[in-house]
Amino acid sequence: MRPVIFLYVLAFYILLQFSWWAYLLIDLNNEVFEHRIENVALTAVSEEAKQAETILLEKKIRQRHLMVIGEGAVFLILLAWGAAISIRSFNKEVELARQQKNFLLSITHEFKSPLASIKLYLETILKHKLEKEKETAFINSAIRDAERLDNLVENTLLANLMDHQGYKFAKEEINFSAFVRLISQKLQTIPNQAKLICHIEDNLFIIGDKNALSMMVFNLVENARKYSTPDSIVELRLEDRKNSVELCVMDNGIGIPDNEKQKVFHRFYRIGNEEKRKTKGTGLGLFIVNYIVSGHKGTIKAIDNKPKGTIMKVNLPKMQLS
């Protein structure tokens, strides 16, 4: 906050100094004009010559006044423009610093949480003689946490590659219907999370990168579940459109304010303060989804679900079958 106050004080000081300089310059011009008028009155050979010289001097003093006012206006415009750019840049840096702080806080929690869970499951299996069914359930839970940790690492690495334009999308023919159905089957087995219901139209094909598209679907469903209660429903729809395939992931969660709908696709962006937030996440999920969709020449937008919640709507170019 102090640098902003200093910037305002500096701008005010410069404005004050400039106003004083302009006043002195105009006052000095007026004094010179008065002296020259007196000199004309003393040296003029006739009344007509005196009037002609006076008119000429008045014209010059008006021109000088206009010059001072014009230069002053340009200076003020440049000062305001520079101040606006400086303040905007400063605010961007502050916002980026806040988002990076939030990211560090969240990434620390996101890494520690599955690691602690895996450790607890394994120690329980090691120290206690459990029934086969319970032991299998613990192992499956540990595997899910390991997959969650792996996905987190993949997201972080992919985001870093995106920053440096280092990720190249593969291009292969994909039966997107079968592909999404397979991913959704894996996601339906996660306990204590919103139930996933799928409506997938058959035989929809696209050209794309399987690894990236898998991450896109996973992140969309995970993001929807993040803001949904365990007893609610997340719906996934894959449908045919004229020139595209449309993937919609719908939740009944808290929704997204209109002024945040574009911001949620920015890197590190998360609504609220990380220290007080209850939902998990790093602020990379939708940023990565947006990058993947753009890399496949598609579109994504967040719209309101009725009566509440959010719909993430993705449209990808459809492969035309011969």
Q: Residue 220 and residue 144: Cα distance in Å, rounded?
A: 18
Q: Residue 18 and residue 14: Cα distance in Å, rounded?
A: 6
Q: Residue 86 and residue 67: Cα distance in Å, rounded?
A: 28
| Model confidence pTM above 0.75 | no
Among residues of the chain, what percentage have pLDDT more than 90? 18
**Which long-range contacts (C-beta less than 8 Å, at least 24 apart) are formed by 300-303?**
300/265, 301/261, 302/256, 302/261, 302/264, 303/261
- Determine the average pLDDT of the residues in 16-38: 74
Identify the band that residue 275 occupies on the pLDDT scale cut at 50, 70 and 90: very low
Q: Token pair of 139, please?
A: 């192992």
Among residues of the chain, what percentage have pLDDT more than 70? 83
Which residue, among 215, 216, 203, 217, has the nearest Cα to 174 in the 3D structure? 203
pLDDT of 215 > 90? The answer is no
Express each pLDDT in 119-145 by its tens digit. Answer: 888 888 888 888 888 888 888 888 878
How big is the chain by its Cα radius of gyration, in Å?
A: 34
**Residue 276's pLDDT is what?**
42
Average of per-residue pLDDT values in the chain:
80
Q: Residue 282 and residue 68: Cα distance in Å, rounded?
A: 55
214 or 100: which carries more pLDDT confidence? 214
φ/ψ of residue 76, rounded to 5: -65, -40
- Determine the average pLDDT of the residues in 248-253: 90
Which residue, among 82, 68, 56, 67, has the nearest Cα to 24 in the 3D structure? 68
Q: Residue 146 and residue 118: Cα distance in Å, rounded?
A: 7
Express each pLDDT in 191-203 by its tens digit. Answer: 778 889 999 999 9
**Residue 45's pLDDT is what?**
64
User: How far is CA 188 from each of CA 21, 51, 257, rounded to the nearest angstrom?
Assistant: 74, 97, 28
pLDDT of 277 > 70? The answer is no
**Residue 322's pLDDT is what?**
56
**Residue 204's pLDDT is what?**
92
φ/ψ of residue 310, rounded to 5: -135, 150
Q: Token pair of 308, please?
A: 């509440």
Q: If one looks up domain 172-317 in CATH, what number appears?
A: 3.30.565.10
- Taking every pair of Cα atoms in the chain, the longest distance, rounded to a whole number of angstroms, is 125
101-163 and 172-317: identical CATH topology:
no
Class of domain 101-163: mainly alpha
Task: Decide: helix, strand or coil at residue 170.
Answer: coil
Beta carbons of 196 and 234 less than 8 angstroms apart: yes
Task: Please provide the size of the chain in residues.
Answer: 322
| Domain locations along the chain | 2-94, 101-163, 172-317
- Determine the average pLDDT of the residues in 237-259: 89
Q: Give 237's DSSP letter.
A: E
Of 21-25, 177-181, 197-201, the range with the lowest mean pLDDT is: 21-25
Q: Residue 283 and residue 101: Cα distance in Å, rounded?
A: 11
**Residue 226's pLDDT is what?**
83
